[in-house]
């Protein structure tokens, strides 16, 4: 069999459930923008069908989808360069998702830590969709034959599952059709932690608003949350080794580095020896300088939701033009009569 070489194509998605956090920005969106600007083909989705694996109020879901699109654009994604759309407008995702539900094994899905975290103790009451979610995520990626997926560290396991699904499909049908996708998990903030508890991921679903910086927070809220963020009593070390075992200190330095586009060592070369009382205001100023233009632009874009909907519709048209032929070929491979 001749090996198919897939041209580089980037796909990623974020759930429109609740607002965007600094974790989403540094772990995902900021890197979506740099990949777009590197000239490779980029497709970025608002995965609304994933969002409803947990109940969403319909009006909130609509608003969160538009706000996520506004966030993408305000952060630097350009609808003329990247394909931006919401998942439910491209039905090929759901159709390929079903086929992949028949490829993925129960045992594989049983190992997914995100399901265990999200379902919590009451697993019997979790939706079936929450359990089978990774098969849909694999379809999101593979229906575009995407080769690279920028995500935060927490999504690594799902990308590995995507690779397993592609390999099993190719093997079971004797084809070399789906690419084995690479996760792109890089930068200084692949896992931004809660500002209140350095052992927990910063998340839009954390009950405490003080644990996270929201992309819509104003300058005062950002400064206050950083001032109150958990740190430790020691001063800042002058190199990364000195951060070992200091989870909260590490988190704040990582955030600074990612916002400033510097390495952790470069940051520490500048601020080593300072106390947190001095470093936190520097971090707050930097965060406000980087985030407030984005939140201002998001608010402006949200005033014309029709414009956002237009962008999503035309993005969906572009997405369908890629996804539909790949789905059709998949159906042929599987043996569906058309």
Interface with ligand AMP by CB under 6 A: which residues? 14-15, 23-24, 27-28, 151-152, 154-155, 190-192, 201-202, 204
Q: Which does 23 bind (CB under 5 to 8 A by kind): ligand AMP, ligand TRP, none?
A: ligand AMP
Residue 71 CB, shortest distance to ligand TRP, in Å, is 14
Q: Which of 201, 225, 280, 290 is catalytic?
A: 201
**Do 74 and 294 touch, CB atoms closer than 8 A?**
yes
The residue whose two tokens read 């005062």 is 220
Residues 146-185 that bind ligand TRP (CB under 6 A): 149, 151, 155, 158
Per CB under 6 A, does 82 bind ligand TRP? no
In the complex, the smallest distance separating the C-beta of residue 182 from ligand TRP, rounded to whole angstroms, is: 12
Nearer to ligand TRP among residue 97 and residue 198 (C-beta): 97
Which residue in the set 141, 243, 311, 323 belongs to the binding site for ligand TRP (CB under 6 A)?
A: 141
93 binding ligand TRP? (CB under 6 A): no
Residue nearest to ligand AMP (CB): 27
Q: How far apart are CB 244 and ligand AMP at their closest, in Å?
A: 20
By a kind-dependent CB cut-off of 5 to 8 A, residue 201 interacts, out of ligand TRP, ligand AMP, none, with ligand AMP
Q: Which does 195 bind (CB under 5 to 8 A by kind): ligand TRP, ligand AMP, none?
A: none
Task: Tell me whether residue 96 or residue 252 sits nearer to ligand TRP (CB atom).
Answer: 96
Decide if residue 140 touches ligand TRP (CB under 6 A): yes
Of 151 and 213, the one with the shorter C-beta distance to ligand TRP is 151
| Active site (annotated) includes residue 204 | yes
| Active-site annotation holder among 81, 156, 168, 204 | 204
Beta carbon of residue 149, minimum distance to ligand AMP (angstroms, whole number): 8
Paired strand residues for 44: 12, 84
| 247-260 vs 276-301: helix crossing angle, rounded to 10 | 50
Could you say whether residue 12 binds ligand TRP (CB under 6 A)? yes
- Is 318 designated active site? no
Contacts (CB under 6 A) with ligand TRP, residues 28-47? 47
Give me the least distance between CB of 158 and ligand TRP, in Å please: 5
Contacts of 195 (CB under 8 A, 6+ apart): 202, 210, 211, 212, 213, 225, 226, 228, 229, 230, 251
- Smallest distance from the beta carbon of 46 to ligand AMP, in angstroms? 10
Does 137 sit near ligand TRP (CB under 6 A)?
yes
Q: Note if 156 is an active site residue.
A: no
Residues 272 and 234 sit within 8 Å (Cβ to Cβ) = no
Name the residues annotated as catalytic: 118, 201, 204
């Amino acid at each position: 069999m001749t090996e198919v070489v897939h041209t580089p194509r980037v796909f990623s998605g974020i759930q429109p459930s609740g607002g965007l956090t600094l974790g989403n920005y540094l772990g995902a969106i900021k890197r979506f923008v740099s990949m777009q600007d590197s000239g490779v083909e980029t497709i970025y989705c608002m995965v609304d069908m994933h969002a409803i694996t947990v109940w969403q109020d319909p009006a909130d879901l609509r608003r969160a989808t538009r706000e996520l699109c506004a966030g993408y654009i305000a952060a630097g994604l350009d609808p003329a360069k990247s394909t931006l759309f919401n998942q439910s407008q491209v039905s090929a995702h759901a159709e390929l998702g079903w086929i992949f539900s028949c490829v993925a094994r129960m045992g594989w899905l049983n190992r997914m830590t995100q399901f265990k975290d999200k379902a919590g103790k009451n697993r019997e009451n979790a939706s079936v969709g929450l359990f089978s979610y990774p098969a849909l995520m694999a379809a999101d990626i593979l229906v575009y034959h995407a080769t690279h997926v920028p995500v935060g560290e927490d999504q690594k396991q799902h990308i590995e599952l995507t690779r397993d699904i592609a390999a099993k499909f190719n093997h079971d049908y004797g084809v070399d059709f789906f690419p084995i996708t690479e996760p792109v998990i890089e930068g200084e903030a692949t896992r931004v932690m809660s500002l209140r508890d350095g052992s927990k991921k910063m998340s839009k679903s954390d009950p405490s608003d003080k644990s996270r910086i929201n992309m819509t927070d104003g300058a005062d809220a950002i400064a206050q949350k950083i001032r109150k963020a958990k740190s430790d009593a020691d001063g800042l070390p002058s190199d990364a080794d000195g951060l070992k075992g200091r989870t909260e200190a590490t988190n704040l330095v990582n955030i600074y580095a990612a916002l400033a586009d510097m390495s952790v060592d470069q940051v520490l070369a500048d601020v080593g020896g300072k106390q947190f009382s001095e470093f936190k205001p520097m971090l707050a100023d930097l965060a406000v300088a980087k985030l407030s233009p984005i939140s201002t632009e998001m608010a402006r874009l949200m005033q014309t939701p029709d414009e956002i909907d237009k962008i999503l519709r035309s993005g969906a048209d572009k997405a369908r033009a890629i996804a539909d032929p790949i789905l059709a070929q998949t159906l042929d491979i599987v043996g569906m009569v058309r």
